[in-house]
Amino acid sequence: EPEVTQTPSHQVTQMGQEVILRCVPISNHLYFYWYRQILGQKVEFLVSFYNNEISEKSEIFDDQFSVERPDGSNFTLKIRSTKLEDSAMYFCASSFAGPPQPQHFGDGTRLSIL
Amino acid sequence: GQQLNQSPQSMFIQEGEDVSMNCTSSSIFNTWLWYKQDPGEGPVLLIALYKAGELTSNGRLTAQFGITRKDSFLNISASIPSDVGIYFCAGQGNTGNQFYFGTGTSLTVIP
């Protein structure tokens, strides 16, 4: 069964450094998402992306965050200047159509900010 | 953002028992999803519900879209050890297209 893949599985970064998290969505999917899950808490929506532009974003997704689809297969999340509170699991998801179509999640990248 | 409360927060049950959990919201939702998350992995979709009153099964799992559209229920029959994990509901309503996730129910099955 096709799946969403994310790399790296664990990223350790010094506070203030830039970090890029990478995702390869399911190949025929058109909608892409990033979510965050702080340890022990619920999954929180960050941003949705369709047709090469952001379609919706949450208040968490401030100017430090950006997303890009640099080619036909990758979808990236960049955090420009990381803070301690950015430490979390970051999940990429994709769907063939927009909501209410269910989203399929990758296994996440654990981001640890030191 | 929207608040979805799940109960119970955690459950410890014997293998073979049935499980019930629910998810409630103060707002009306148009779609409810149920996901299971194993440690160190991403959420995996279990069931999707699109209509008030809808009852949908996936093997031993059954979920219902509450008729008030403010709640949803997930039942697991005859639990087995691999049912262990955290179960999240997610709802999508009239305020934007994003899905809001619940607080999760942690299930432990004792063999």
Instruction: Among A29, A43, A48, A89, pick the best mutation site for testing chain B contact (most B Cβ within 10 A).
Output: A43
Distance (Å, whole) CA B64 – CA A72? 38
Query: In this complex, is the C-beta atom of B96 within 8 Å of any C-beta atom belonging to chain A?
Result: yes
Residue A21, pLDDT > 70, answer: yes
Joined together, the tokens standing for residue B23 give: 């998810």
Q: Smallest Cα–Cα separation from B8: which of B77, B83, B108, B101?
A: B108
Q: Which amino acid is at B24?
A: T
Residue A15 pLDDT class (50, 70, 90 cuts): very high
From chain A, pick out residues whose CB is under 8 angstroms from the CB of B92: 99-100
Distance (Å, whole) CA A31 – CA B21? 30
How many angstroms separate the Cα of B38 from the Cα of each of A39, B24, B25? 13, 23, 24
Joined together, the tokens standing for residue A72 give: 């036909």
Beta-bridge partners for A78? A20, A66
Tell me what pLDDT residue A67 has. 97
Tell me what pLDDT residue A96 has. 92
Joined together, the tokens standing for residue A84 give: 């301690």
Q: Smallest Cα–Cα separation from A79: which of A9, A33, A21, A39?
A: A21
From chain B, pick out residues whose CB is under 8 angstroms from the CB of A59: 1
Distance from CA of B107 to the nearest CA of A (A): 14
Tell me what pLDDT residue B3 has. 82
Tell me what pLDDT residue B23 has. 96
Query: In this complex, is the C-beta atom of B63 within 8 Å of any C-beta atom belonging to chain A?
Result: no
Conformation bin of residue A27: beta by default, left when phi > 0, alpha when psi is -120 to 50: alpha
pLDDT in tens, B53-94: 999 999 999 999 999 999 999 999 999 999 999 999 999 887
Residue B1, pLDDT > 70, answer: no
From chain B, pick out residues whose CB is under 8 angstroms from the CB of A108: 40-42
Query: In this complex, is the C-beta atom of B28 within 8 Å of any C-beta atom belonging to chain A?
Result: no
